[in-house]
Amino acid sequence: MNCRHCQTPLRHVFLDLGFAPPSNAYLTEADLHRPELYYPLKLYVCDQCWLVQTADYTRADELFRADYAYFSSTSTTWLDHAARYTELIRARLDLGADSLVIEVAANDGYLLRNFVAAGIPCLGIEPTADTAAAAERQGIPVLREFFGAALGRQLTAQGRQADLIVGNNVYAHVPDINDFTAGLQAALKPGGTITLEFPHLLRLIAETQFDTVYHEHFSYLSLYTVQRLFAAQGLRVCDVEQLPTHGGSLRVYGVHRDDPRTETPAVHQVLHDESAAGLRGLPVYQGFQPRADRLKDDLLAYLIEQKRAGRRVAAYGAAAKGNTLLNYAGVKPDLLPFVCDAAPSKQGKYLPGSHLPILPPAVLTERPPDDLLILPWNIADEVRSQLSALGAQGTRFVTAVPTLRIR
C-alpha cells in the first residue's frame, strides 16, 4: 500500500487492532443469525508526509450506508458547540443574506440550522439518506452525494461557490483525501474561507486515544500534514484553534494560496508543539502499540473483577469509539450485558462484533447498575450530569480512556 497523499510506500505500522467489523454497522436481531464482515483494523504512518492512515480494505460506500446511524444532534454538547461556532464565524467573516455557506457532511442539520435561522443561505452535502432527510425537514437544502473534486467543479459551474465551507469531523473520513481537498479548492469563492475540524493526532498519541481508531476514519491528522495536503491543491492554512471536542481537536482555517491573509502565531505554535512531541519521527509512533494494549488489558481486568464480585456493570453510549474498545478487548454480553443510548436510531439494535443489545436510557432507572461504563469518554461530563440521579443512588461512573477511572 502507498500513502494516500504522497504515494510513498507504507512500511511502518503505528497500531494493529486485529480484525473488527465497521464500528457504525449496527445489527438487527435478524443480523445476529448471519455472518458478520470483519476487516483488518491497522494503521500505518508515512515517513515522508507523516499522514497516519488505515490499511486500505474498505470503501466509503460500504461504511456510510443509507441507514448510517450517527445523528449529530443526539449530543447537547455538540449542539452547543455548533451554535457557538455559528456566532463566531458569522461575526468573523461578516456573513449575511448575500453569502453562501456550504457544509460538507451536513449530517442531520445540527449546524446549518443555525445559519437558516440567521437568514444566511446554505447548502448541505450529505450522502447518507437518513441524516440528509433529517436536515431537509429543518428547511436545509441537501445534495445527497459524496464530496470531491468533480462536485466542487460542478458547484462552481452552477455559480454556487461558497463564502464559507465547513467540514466538521469529515476530513478524516474520506478515503481520497487529495480529491476531497481539490473539491474544497474548487468550491471556494475567491476570498472565501474553509474551516475544518478534526481530532488532533497529537492528542490521540499523548492520551492513548486508540479507541478513536476505526474503519470510518481513514486518516489521523496533524497540522503539519494538513498544511501539505492544502498546499498540494492550491490552499493555505492561515489560522488554527485548539478545541476540547472529541478529546482534543483542531479547527483549521483555509484560504486560497494567493489570499492576502497571513498565518497567525497560533499556526506556528501548533507546528512547534507537534515537532516537540516527535510527530515527525518514527519513535513516537513505534511506541504506541504497548500503551494501547495496557489500556485494553486494564479494562478487561476491571470487567472480570466486577463479574467475580457479583457487581452489575452496564455501558452508556453506543459510539464508534466504544465499539473499537470492546472489540479489541473481546468484551461480550457475559461481561457487559447491555449498552444504553439516547439515539432512537440505535435503540433495539446490537453493537457490531460484541453484539451487546442497545437499550433506551430509561432502563438504567428501572434497573440501576452498580457501575456504568461511559464509552464516549469525550462527553463523560455531559453523561454524568444527565444521569446524576444514578450517581446519587450509588452508581459509580467509569471511563477507560486515557486511563481507567472510577468515580
In the chain, domain spans: 72-285, 299-406
Contact 206, 277 (CB under 8 A): yes
Q: Say if residues 136 and 142 touch (Cβ distance below 8 Å).
A: yes
Q: How far are the Cα atoms of 294, 313, 325, 373, 407 from residue 381, in angstroms, in the given order?
A: 24, 19, 20, 13, 11
For residues 55 and 42, the answer to whether their CB atoms sit within 8 Å is: yes
Q: Which CATH architecture has domain 72-285?
A: 3-Layer(aba) Sandwich (3.40)
pLDDT at position 69: 47
In the 8-state DSSP scheme, what is residue 288? H
User: 355 or 245, which is more confident?
Assistant: 355
pLDDT tens, 4-60? 999 999 999 999 999 999 988 999 999 999 999 999 999 999 999 999 999 976 554
Classify domain 299-406 by CATH number: 3.40.50.720
The pLDDT of residue 74: 66
Query: Rounded to an integer, what distance in angstroms lies between the CA atom of residue 165 and that of residue 254?
Result: 9
8 Å CB contact between 277 and 288: no
First to last CA, the chain: 44
Q: Is 65's pLDDT higher than 60?
A: no
Positive/negative CA dihedral, 351, 355, 356, 358? positive
Which residues lie across from 52 on neighbouring strands? 45, 220
pLDDT single digits (tens) 279-334: 999 999 999 999 999 999 999 999 999 999 999 999 999 989 999 999 999 999 99
To the nearest whole number, what is the mean pLDDT of the chain?
94
H-helix or E-strand spanning residue 236: strand 235-243
State the pLDDT at residue 77: 82
pLDDT tens readout for residues 349-389: 999 999 999 999 999 999 999 999 999 999 999 999 999 99
Question: To which H or E segment does residue 167 belong?
Answer: strand 162-168
Summarize pLDDT for 149-175 with one digit per residue, the tens. Answer: 999 999 999 999 999 999 999 999 999
What b-and-e string marks burial along 51-90, b requiring 16 or more CB atoms within 10 Å of the CB?
Answer: bbbbbeebeeeebbeeebbbbbbbbeebbebbeebbeebb
CB 235 within 8 Å of CB 187: no
Same fold for the pair 72-285 and 299-406: yes
Q: Which amino acid is at 183?
A: G
